[in-house]
Chains A and B, each alone.
Chain A
Amino acid sequence: MKYATEFRDPAAAKTLLARIAHVADTLGASREAPIPIMEICGGHTHSIFRYGLDKLVHEGIEFVHGPGCPVCVLPRARVDEAIQLATRPEVIFTTFGDAMRVPGASQSLLQAKAAGADVRMVYSPLDALELARRNPEREVVFFGIGFETTTPSTALAIQQAAREGLTNFSVFCNHITVPEPLKAILDDPFMNLAGFIGPGHVSMVIGTHPYDFIARDYHKPVVVAGFEPLDILQSVLMLLTQIAEQRAGVENQYARVVPENGNPVSIAAMADVYEKRPSFEWRGLGEIDSSGLRIRPAYRAFDAEEKFGIGYAGIRAEIADPEGCACGQVMIGHLKPTQCPHFGKGCTPETPLGALMVSSEGACAAYWQYGGARAAAE
């Protein structure tokens, strides 16, 4: 057990692993017939690989990697639209670093920057606001991406811009929500999942009730988890216990950070600034009903799509994923990254073909970085 030495509390890890193994055995789980558990959040995927939890747990537990990596699910068409904005001469295009290397149809933002577009990496939408204040003659566009963890930040930034009467700041909004893709995955007849590890920091914002439908309508247990290795192991044990007792509820392993009802200020800001789009495109998954957010008409002046007539406010190009790439199948856990024909060949972190290879939260990048993935590709 070489990984266990890296745990802050190896004894606790050992105990949890033994208890997981015991319940897995009573459930008859085996390598051939594993219990598939989906970790929704890419942060969990990263942590699972970093600590080798997939190898440490009983072989009858299978981690299925979910769609919770914001840059991974960004479709090529949206990257292209971002590049269209970034190449306008009046625009300073601001983005989180994660999104810089995501490939569009022909380019990434990083390549567009190298070719002369004014693309700047920021840490926060507040940096973009500050750029707008300092550059009144330029149009500052912020690339809003992410789930409910980052959505409140762009909402609060837009509210602040409105209060200050800034006219040269807008957001290219690609915010998405966690519950809708889960519903799409649960409705997939080929999907076989025994339970879900719920995202910790998304839940810190929205609380635990948005997952109630998973337990109520689909009879699958959900445990909202922290991202430290012991948190994840404990959550696996809580899920297995529910399965063994034939219960399906939403439990909160991360109560030290996640309040049952979420963060009221964030929820209010999101509700004030955003409304649901009828549907939104996900890379590899296609359009999913009500899964994306757009800026409400009251804040239209801050909506880059409206301001520049692009994206859902313009004519959208249909851009298919690269030939033979398995991103969509990997995203919903149907295939392992190593089963993609491009894995480690045409697609590596240096030359990513799909976005799952770009971010450390993407399953393909995590496979590549940790644990035998290179060997599997060679």
Chain B
Amino acid sequence: MCLGIPGQIVAITAPERMMAMAEVSGVRREVNVACVADGPLEALIGEWVLIHVGFAMSRIDPEEAEKTLIALHELGEVAEATGQMAEADRALAQ
């Protein structure tokens, strides 16, 4: 739970709620960007961030993102995170 997962911001979805769409290991997920925004939200598009429980908590460079993803894959954390996202989608649809 304490390991974040890297994602790339691909669009701003609801600026009034600081929400953006991120692509996380092939899965699209809406995330909150309040903790990484320090200017216009549009500037975040294309940026890599470390995502914890649906919140972008830190900006990281692409190389760091790639290294982190490899390590997380080996720890089984990527499958766990994307599995939780899918499970959450089911919980919402219920």
- Residues in chain A within 8 A of chain B (CB atoms): 6, 8, 41-43, 46-47, 50, 68, 70-71, 94, 96-98, 120-127, 130-131, 134, 145-147, 149-150, 152-153, 156, 160, 199, 201-202, 204-205, 227-229, 256-257, 263, 265-266, 269, 359-361
Contact = CB atoms under 8 A, between A and B. Distances in A.
A204 B58 contact: yes
**Most B CB atoms within 10 A — which of A146, A152, A359?**
A152
B64 interface: yes
Given A97-B87, A122-B91, A227 B3 contact: yes
A134 B53 contact: no
Contacts of A266: 35, 57
B25 interface: no
A204 B74 CA distance: 22
15 contacts: A50-B75, A98-B1, A122-B84, A122-B87, A123-B85, A124-B54, A130-B92, A149-B57, A152-B35, A153-B32, A201-B57, A204-B58, A229-B71, A257-B60, A266-B57
Contacts of B17: 160
B32 A126 contact: yes
A263 B35 contact: yes
Given A201-B50, A204-B58, A263-B58, 8 more contacts: A43-B3, A46-B75, A130-B92, A150-B1, A150-B2, A201-B2, A256-B61, A360-B80
Contacts of A126: 30, 32, 54-55
Interface string B42-76: 00000000101111011011001001101100111
Contact of A156 (B55, B61, B71, B76): B55
A8 B67 contact: yes
Contacts of B52: 149-150, 153, 201
A131 B92 contact: yes
B34 A156 contact: yes
B53 A131 contact: no
B13 to A, nearest CB: 12
A94 B17 CA distance: 21
Contacts of B30: 126
B84 A156 contact: no
A263 B32 CA distance: 15
A120 B2 CA distance: 20
B7 interface: no
Given A126-B54, A127-B91, A47 B75 contact: yes
Contacts of B68: 228
Given A96-B84, A228-B68, A124 B57 contact: no
A124 B55 contact: yes
B70 A70 contact: no
Given A41-B2, A153-B54, A160-B17, A123 B34 contact: no
**Most B CB atoms within 10 A — which of A6, A202, A266?**
A266
B35 A227 contact: no
